[in-house]
Amino acid sequence: MSYVKVMLIGGPNHLPVERRFLTVAPGCEKIKLPFGSGYEHFLHRGERTRVDGQELPVYTWIMRTAIAE
């Protein structure tokens, strides 16, 4: 299976730039990213952008949830 590089936008300002680029399985609609004491949730709504000559799907931040204890 090949993976797709994606870009995450929105969410916490202190989310490092290097964490905003991930590789995911093709067709992945939602991303749940562990960060700090919770999870940041991102959704792909069909948007794409060009970064360094490569077209990437854009996932937009939709919410944060706490890690269950």
- Using only C-alpha atoms, the chain has a radius of gyration, in whole angstroms, of 12
Residue 1: band (very low, low, confident or very high) from pLDDT cuts 50, 70, 90: confident
Please give the model's pTM, rounded to 2 decimal places.
0.92
Query: What mean pLDDT is reported for the chain?
Result: 95
Does residue 30 carry a pLDDT above 90? yes
Average pLDDT over residues 55-62: 98
Does residue 68 carry a pLDDT above 90? no
Cβ atoms of residues 47 and 57 within 8 Å: yes
Residue predicted with more confidence, 12 or 68:
12
Domain range summary for the chain, segments of one domain joined by +: 4-66
Average pLDDT over residues 22-27: 94
